[in-house]
Amino acid sequence: MSKLADPIAATAAGPVRREKLARALFRFRQSRLSLLGAAIVALVLFFALLGSVLAPYPDDVRGSVSTAARFLAPSAAHPFGTNEVGQDVLSLTMAGTTVSVLAGFGVVIIGSLLGTLVGAVAGFAGGLVDEALMRFTDLVLTIPSLILAMAIAAALGPGFENMVLAISLSWWPGYARLVRGEVLAAREEVYVTAARAIGASPARVLFRHILPNCLSPIIVKMSLDMGFAILTVAGLGFIGIGVRPPTPEWGTLLSTARSYMPDYWWTAMAPGMAMFLAVFGFNLLGDGLRDVLDPRGRR
């Protein structure tokens, strides 16, 4: 067998992983829609990182006011016009990407981690633990999420972190229920029995065999939720809880624009379009990711 050992030793972990990545990329490239989604998300992320730097009127982002230039219609100087205090709407929207996308990410990541933990433990342990955890989940689900987020945000006080935390705490039950169901199904798979027969520890069975096979619905839900989370963040901004002015945020921008709506329509258009684009892009990307992450599910 020694002659077999040599080529193996030469094949370090690197090439194998690279080959896997190359296959995944190839699969991803076969769908134009997911490429479009990836492009939109890349654009959104680009603005989230550099929006306030690249904004054509950085002073406006910091809160400067020029009443002489208020409600200018879209033009070459102001592609999306100016608002009620003469700030460039394009600059505000670009800078607002940061808050919206970061908050969306925060909500989805905290919510999915929390929910996955609760659901996985409930489904894997079963019995009394399952009952207790799931009844608590149901309890949280009965409370309307926006109201709960509002209550938590009001209790914790306004601010970016509190807003993210507030939305996350109303966000996890969906993941808990999804993951519990997936774990219950995966627990009965033969390869799980095989792992137990090998002598694998419960933690190894759960994290190596069960959870990886529950991943694709979680990823898909995360990508769909990313859009909804951005919308919820904007919703909280719209009703005045969340980040405080002068920090630009899409929801707050829309909320102010609403009062001038039919006449000065351009004040609402840029933040609205940005939100639409971000939600659309994340949804397309999520579908593409599912095709890559779940080799069996591809057509």
Partner 1 sequence: MVEPILEIQGVRKTYPARRSLFGRSAAVDALKGVSLAVTPGESFGLVGESGSGKTTLTRSILRLEAPTAGRILFKGEDMARLGPKALRTLRARIQIVFQDPYASLNPRMTVEEIVSEPMLVHRDILRLDRAGRRDRAAELLALVGLSTQHLARNPHEFSGGQRQRIGIARALAAGPELLLLDEPTSALDVSVQAQVLNLLIDLQDRLGLTYLFISHDLAVVRYLCDRVALIHSGVLVEEGPTREIFDAPQSDYARMLLGAAPKVRVPPATPSG
The minimum distance between CB 220 and partner 1, in angstroms, equals 16
Asked if residue 10 binds partner 1 (CB under 8 A), the reply is no
Residue type, 111: G
Asked if residue 14 binds partner 1 (CB under 8 A), the reply is no
Give the residue, chosen from 19, 59, 131, 161, that forms a contact with partner 1 under the rule CB under 8 A: 19
Cβ contacts of 182 within 8 Å, gap of 6 or more? 119, 123, 213, 214, 217, 218
Q: Which two tokens stand for residue 7?
A: 């080529």
Closest CA to 39 of 252, 270, 282: 282
Asked if residue 77 binds partner 1 (CB under 8 A), the reply is no
How large is the C-alpha radius of gyration of the chain?
Answer: 24
Asked if residue 26 binds partner 1 (CB under 8 A), the reply is no
Residue holding tokens 């990407």? 97
Asked if residue 25 binds partner 1 (CB under 8 A), the reply is no
The minimum distance between CB 117 and partner 1, in angstroms, equals 20
Q: With respect to partner 1, which residue has the nearer C-beta, 207 or 276?
A: 207
Asked if residue 128 binds partner 1 (CB under 8 A), the reply is no
Residue holding tokens 């901004």? 237
Residue holding tokens 């306030």? 52
The minimum distance between CB 86 and partner 1, in angstroms, equals 56
- Report the alpha-carbon distance of residue 208 to residue 204 in Å, rounded: 5
The minimum distance between CB 141 and partner 1, in angstroms, equals 23
- Report the alpha-carbon distance of residue 115 to residue 174 in Å, rounded: 7
**Mask of contacts with partner 1, 131-170, x by CB under 8 A?**
----------------------------------------
In the region spanning residues 178 to 237, those forming contacts with partner 1, defined by CB under 8 A, are 189-191, 193-201, 204, 208-209, 212-213, 215
Q: With CB under 8 A as the contact rule, which of the stretches 11-19, 86-94, 144-152, 154-162 interacts with partner 1?
A: 11-19
Asked if residue 70 binds partner 1 (CB under 8 A), the reply is no
Long-range CB pairs of 157-164, under 8 A, 24+ apart, other chains included: 158/241, 158/242, 158/243, 158/244, 159/243, 159/244, 160/99, 160/102, 160/103, 160/242, 160/243, 163/103, 163/233, 163/236, 163/241, 163/242, 163/243, 164/103, 164/106, 164/107, 164/110
Asked if residue 8 binds partner 1 (CB under 8 A), the reply is yes
Q: In 3-state terms, what secondary structure has residue 297?
A: helix
Asked if residue 42 binds partner 1 (CB under 8 A), the reply is no
Q: With respect to partner 1, which residue has the nearer C-beta, 84 or 294?
A: 294
Q: Which residues bind partner 1 (CB under 8 A)?
A: 1, 4-5, 7-9, 11, 16, 19-20, 189-191, 193-201, 204, 208-209, 212-213, 215, 295-296
